[in-house]
Every structure is written in structure tokens, then in C-alpha cells.
Amino acid sequence: MNEPTIPSVADVPSGNRYDRMEWAGAFGDLGTLIPFVAAYIGVLKMDPFGVLFAFGAAMLVSGLYYKTPFPVQPMKAIGAVAALQAVQTAIVTPAAVYSAALVTGIAWLFLGLTGLASRLAKMVPPVVVIGIVFGLGFGFMLQGVKMMQSDWLIALISGSATLLLMGNRKIPAMFVLLAFGAVVGMVQNPVLLDALSGTAIGFHTPTFALSELSWNQFFVGAVLLALPQLPLTLGNAVIAIKEENNRLFPQRCVSEGGVSISTGIMNLFSAAVGGVPMCHGAGGMAGHIAFGARTGGSVVILGGMLLVLAFFFSASVDLLFKLFPLAILGVILFLTGAQLALGSSTFPAERGARAVVLLTAALCMWNVAAGFVAGIVLHHLQQRGHMRM
């Protein structure tokens, strides 16, 4: 069995590549992207064009600028709360999601430009960062297992074949996995194939989404969606992604302030065009790398494909996403989590520090923001001798 390889400095080219491994790695984050985008479109009834256009443009710029597999992902807490509240109470509307992206963009642009993001990051102990990364990895694996439960046979076949092909540069594992998933989807849901074949190509253009935003929708988006996400974003999408990028690609280091500014700009853009709150999650980089990506070319490729879908196939994107079985997405998410957890920083040798890492990781599997805050508290208790393990 071939294990996913961690890139070394010698393995990484100076610029972006667009070979078959970058194409395979481009789809390594679908396990996170598809479920959240499908929920925004299917549950909240958001315009598919705005969602796909924002993601595609952000990925394109991210790949060209960072030149590493620097991901763009949906903000998970906002997506989960928005979908749940839309079903239960109907108080979260597409306009509230736009306002959440607007508030998120303003907040992170401010934190990045003032240097507060870097100062906040320096207050987070290394053991807490390691715990966050471990927790995210194991959380992805657990969620992957839950998704695979929808069809264990498909998950077993696709997962075994993918593991055998991981690291194979002649036959990219992701291509085989997606092809298998598409075939299974067509066999299980022939109606979807008929619907897709009858879809007409139509050209769509951007519109300004904030023109009819009300104060009530702004309040819901800011208080209910955006503010609870801030600690999670700091832990996963600023500190953790900075650590992962700089560990794997030391010749292309980034700073917390730079990542914050990037997060702010892409969310302001997303709010304007009818998109959703986005971030640079550490799990996304692990997913791209696990399936072969070594440069920003993978992110450019995925962004370009989403832009094509947005401009010409927005009306059929929901059907396209439904074509891939949930078990296949679960395999992608499970392997992404394994890559993130196994490739994280060295586990500390001191017993008390290990306890902080494990407790932080355990809480992060449930809620990253809670794990982030609790980890800092536990670290200081352990440093003062109040926590003996």
C-alpha cells in the first residue's frame, strides 16, 4: 500500500504546474466543498451562480498568488448554522448569508491590516496549534466514516482502490475514485443522468447582491452567523493553515496577517457577488496534497472549473453534485483527515504538553472554537502546575 507522500523542498517546483497530478490534487477538497455548496443551494435556495463564481474566482487568485495548494473552503460553522436555521426557523435567508460574508470580510481585513491577527496568533501556544490540527484531522476522518455508512460496499471498494493508488504518479488515485463514483451514481440514479443530458447551456452574468440588504438580515448574518465563526477561523484558517503551509513549503512562507487580509478580501468580494463566507482551511491543503498536488496549479484548476460551471451550467450544478454518492465523498474526507493528522507537527515529548494536545484535539473534533479556547486555558494551567497528568 502506498501512503501519501509529504512534499519536500526538492519536490516542489518554483512555479505552478498543471500536470495530471495537479489535476488529480485539484479535486482533493471535494469532500468538504460539495456538501456545503449543495446545502447552500438546496436548503437556503441561494443562486448557484453567485456561490460558484465567488469560490472559483477566489481559488483562481489564491493559486496564482500563493503558488502552493493554498485552499479556499466554505466556513463550516456558518454553513452548518445557516442550513440548520433555514430548515428549523427560516430566519436565515440568502441575504443574511451575504451579510455574514460582508462582516467576516471587514473583520479579517481589519485584523490583518492592523497587525492584530499576528498578535493574536502569537498568544496561541504551539501545543494548541498541534491539537487543533490533530482534532481537525480526526474530525474529518470521523465525518468521512459517517458519510461512508450510507453505502459500506461502495466505500470499501473505492477506499481500497484509492489507498493502493495513493502516491502513484502514473494513475492518479483521485481520477479513479471520481470515475468510479460517477459510474456508481449513474447506475444508482439513472434519472439524474437523463436530467443532466437534457440541461441547456446558458450564460450568466454577475449582479450586485447587497443592493437590497435589510438591517434585519444584516443583524442575523452578523450576530447569528459571522461572530461565532471568528475563533474557529483564527484557529483553523489563519494559524493552522499558516503552520501547514510554512512547514510543507518553507520557500513560500506566509504570515498570519497576510492570510487574514486574503480572507478579508475574498469575503468582501463574495458578499458583493452573492457568494458565501469562505476561508483558507488547513484541511483543504491536506486534501489537495494527499491526492498529488504540489503547487497552486491544483487550486487554479479547480477554480477555473467552478467558473465554467458558474457561467454556463449554474442551473444544473445541483444535479451534478448529486451524481457522486455520499460514500465516495466520505472516502475523500477520510483520507484528507488522515493526511492532515499524520502529517501534523511532531507530538510533544513532555507528558503534560501531550495531555493539552490530546484534550484540545478531542474538543476540536466537536467544536474548533471551543477546543481553541479550552486549549489555551489548559496550556496555562499546565504551565503553572495546576494540571498534573
E runs forming strands in the chain: 73-74, 278-279
9 pLDDT higher than 90: no
Asked whether residue 120 is assigned to any structural domain, the reply reads yes
Q: Write out the residue range of the structural domain in which residue 45 sits.
A: 9-383
Summarize pLDDT for 248-302 with one digit per residue, the tens.
999 999 999 999 999 999 999 999 999 999 999 888 898 899 888 999 999 999 9
Asked whether residue 34 is assigned to any structural domain, the reply reads yes
Domains: count for the chain: 1
Asked whether residue 197 is assigned to any structural domain, the reply reads yes
Summarize pLDDT for 69-84 with one digit per residue, the tens.
999 998 876 766 665 5
- Provide the pLDDT for residue 86: 57
The span from the CA of 17 to the CA of 13, in Å, is 8
The span from the CA of 284 to the CA of 336, in Å, is 8
The span from the CA of 70 to the CA of 388, in Å, is 39
- Provide the pLDDT for residue 122: 83
Find all residues with CB under 8 Å of 88, minimum gap 6, and list them. Answer: none
The span from the CA of 362 to the CA of 358, in Å, is 6
Asked whether residue 297 is assigned to any structural domain, the reply reads yes
Asked whether residue 134 is assigned to any structural domain, the reply reads yes
Is there a contact between 203 and 315 (Cβ–Cβ < 8 Å)?
Answer: no
2 pLDDT higher than 50: no
- Provide the pLDDT for residue 186: 86
Q: How far is CA 5 from the centre of its chain?
A: 20
Q: Residue range 308-332: average pLDDT?
A: 84
302 to each of 12, 30, 83, 309, how far by Cα in Å? 19, 10, 24, 11
Asked whether residue 259 is assigned to any structural domain, the reply reads yes
Asked whether residue 343 is assigned to any structural domain, the reply reads yes
- Provide the pLDDT for residue 382: 86
Q: How far is CA 214 from the centre of its chain?
A: 29
How large a percentage of the chain has pLDDT more than 90?
32
- Provide the pLDDT for residue 11: 59
Query: Shortest CA distance to 79 belongs to which of 96, 58, 63?
Result: 96
The span from the CA of 13 to the CA of 9, in Å, is 8
Asked whether residue 2 is assigned to any structural domain, the reply reads no
The span from the CA of 223 to the CA of 228, in Å, is 8
Query: Is the pTM above the cut of 0.85?
Result: no
Any bridge partners for residue 74, and if so which?
278
